[in-house]
Structure 1
Amino acid sequence: MTGTFGGALEARNIPADDGRLVGLAEGEVGLDGKTLVLQRIHVRFELQVDPDADRATIDRVHGFFADRCPVYRSIHPQIHCSTEVTLVEA
């Protein structure tokens, strides 16, 4: 998911390479009968930006990128996936 989000940002001239974009994922496991299954995944993106970064474009890309992400499309809706993005001024 990080690669798809980063690629979509880069396509809009928002730098996401060289460690500027990091994705931190957490999963929640539950029981389905007697079997452990992954039920939820939450990805927190941290993006280093310049003070004059186009935050509206970043928010817009964050709003649609998952629908174009192969990983997201492979696991959703069987596994609930959520994301958030935190901007860190460099």
Structure 2
Amino acid sequence: MISITAIIKSKQENIEQVRNMIHHLVTETRKEAACVRYDLHTTENIFIIWEEWKDQAGLDIHNNQSYLLDFIKQSENLVALPIQVYKTFQTL
């Protein structure tokens, strides 16, 4: 199992737009066969996506989906900081 944590900090004036874009991303991603979990957590202008994937092959497919690539490109000017992505493996 592969876990991903993505942290997205929206500029204050773009919160609603970023939220809508992330909701679309979550909806589409949850349809992927290798997606075990794709949960969104929010507070103010910070969005945290906690993901679990069956395997690297499934994650690779996700990373090349047009809706993910579009989100990354379209959000560049809407976020306060670059999107942070952490790939982790459960050890205990």
Q: What interval of TM-score do these two structures reach, taking the shorter chain for normalisation?
A: 0.3 to 0.5
Q: TM-score, with normalisation over the residues of structure 2?
A: 0.38
Relative contact order, higher structure (CA 8 A, sep 6+): 2
Higher helix share: 2
Which is richer in strand? 1
TM-score, length of structure 1 as denominator length: 0.38
